[in-house]
Amino acid sequence: MSQQTPKKPVVVSNLSSALANIHISSQNQNQQSSQYHNTQYGGQSMFTSNNSSSNNNNNNSNGSNHHMNNSSNGSSNNVPNNNPNHIHNSNGINHMNGNLIPNQYPIINNNSNNAFVQRQDSRSQFLTSSIDIPMSQTPDEPPLDRIALYRKNPPTEGISLFSHRSAPNGFKIAVVLSELGFKYKTFYLDFKRNEQRSPYYLSMNPNARVPAIIDHDNNDHTVWESGSIIIYLCQRAGRDCPIWSDDICEQSSITSWLFFQASGHAPMIGQALHFKYFHPERINSALERYVNEVRRIYGVVEMRLAELREQMIMEMDDESFSLGTSALSESKYFADPVWLVGNRLTAADLSFVTWNHVVDRIDIDLKNEFPEVFKWTQIMLSRPSVKRALSGLE
């Protein structure tokens, strides 16, 4: 009689470490490839720690809602690799895999549409635990459908976020959930096993990408596409939502930046990452096209933030700045935060932070090329809620 397979330990692999260690040394490629399926659940994440050089290779398969790869057939077939910088992906976007075990981190209760004020006092009360759904009940049985099990036994409260360990769009939603103090837990999909194509997941997200959410406090309502999820969460938080607005003009400005980020900023970075690391052959013209487009997009954001800083200095500092006798960099307000909409952080700003956090992977130096974007990003990354979300611990 077969014995029950023991559950394997949870390994936390956050977005920063996953993307920072995007390469695996070429001399270890074959060993890593043969061990891949054994490390998907339980053991050390492939991207948690390595000190490899830049010319490395890995095979990967996944899905997400901004395309770094035009192939979305859901297969995991390997393609011969002739590019020393190539990390192959045959199924969508996020090209890095970690330990994909759902984690449960209850934060606070959220049983009303207007509960932000009540949530404020509880935002620091984080309890940590985890859920480990084994791949099979016995060694001889086929892998279980973890999403089916999850959907049949869902939480009774809070929000379930379906994401991937190295998906900036998934972490983008985690940032907003943390900022608003929602109780949530993250279920990390295993793209290597095509979990994003499970019928149960497709019933939530017909596009078979991450992220998606289930709101268990709202009749298990499901939402997919990152921009739509952000708007839903802001509306769900009620009139006191600090990153939204009840003014229709401000709302339209926030949504304009949200759509700009979701339709331009994220996909262009994704395509640049694909052609730099994952495409089976080196196509310099394609890589150059997408990196240049990312720079153009950052130029739009840089100009907006620079104009707002100049306006702030002119209005708040002495007249030497308005007369042009003092450089703006000499102002005491030169390092103060400026935001895309109004004079406060909104969902428009937060939608950029996770992708800004990884753009150095395509050799864009925000600090030197886009200094206002860099300062803006660093201010957001210093927020406790953003740190929590990027840690991957919730």
**Concatenated DSSP letters for 368-387?**
HH-HHHHHHHHHHHTSHHHH
Q: What DSSP element (H or E) covers 162?
A: strand 159-163
Q: Is 181's pLDDT higher than 50?
A: yes
Q: What is the CATH number of domain 248-391?
A: 1.20.1050.10
Give residue 274's pLDDT: 96
Encode pLDDT of 33-48 as tens digits. Answer: 333 233 232 222 222 2
Tokens of 174: 């985690």
- Tally of residues, the chain: 394
Label each residue of 42-106 as H, E or C: CCCCCCCCCCCCCCECEEECCCCCCCCCCCCCCCCCCCCCCCCCCEEECCCCCCCCCCCCCEEEC
Encode pLDDT of 189-247 as tens digits. Answer: 998 899 999 999 999 999 999 999 999 999 999 999 999 999 999 999 999 999 999 99
Give residue 19's pLDDT: 53
**φ and ψ at residue 68, rounded to 5 degrees:** -90, -15
How many Cα atoms occupy the beta-carbon half-sphere of 225 within 13 Å?
11
CA gap 256, 282 in Å, rounded: 35
CA gap 36, 145 in Å, rounded: 19
The answer to whether the bond into 211 is cis (omega within 30° of 0) is: yes
- Each residue of 321-356: b (16+ CB within 10 Å) or e? beeeeeebeebebeeebbbbbeeebbbbbbbbbbbb
Integer angstrom CA distances of residue 347 from 212, 306, 342? 17, 19, 12
Give residue 139's pLDDT: 52
Tokens of 9: 């330990």
Q: With CA atoms as reference, report the closest residue to 203 among 191, 221, 177, 185.
A: 221
Give residue 166's pLDDT: 86
Question: How many CB atoms are closer than 10 A to CB 47?
Answer: 24
Encode pLDDT of 303-360 as tens digits. Answer: 999 999 998 888 877 877 777 778 887 888 888 999 999 999 999 999 999 999 999 9
Same CATH fold, 248-391 and 103-237? no
Q: What is the CATH number of domain 103-237?
A: 3.40.30.10
Q: Is 51's pLDDT higher than 50?
A: no
Q: With CA atoms as reference, report the closest residue to 229 among 248, 249, 246, 205.
A: 205
Q: Is 52's pLDDT higher than 90?
A: no
Q: Is 88's pLDDT higher than 50?
A: no
Q: Which amino acid is at 158?
A: G
Name, in order, each residue with C-beta under 8 angstroms of 160's C-beta and a sequence gap of 6 or more.
150, 154, 184, 185, 186, 187, 213, 214, 216
Give residue 18's pLDDT: 53
Annotated domain spans of the chain = 103-237, 248-391
CA gap 218, 236 in Å, rounded: 9
CA gap 133, 137 in Å, rounded: 10
Question: How many CB atoms are closer than 10 A to CB 75?
Answer: 11
Lowest mean pLDDT among 41-55, 121-135, 143-157: 41-55
Q: What DSSP element (H or E) covers 110?
A: none
Tokens of 129: 């635990």
Encode pLDDT of 259-277 as tens digits. Answer: 999 999 999 999 999 999 9
Tokens of 214: 């289930």
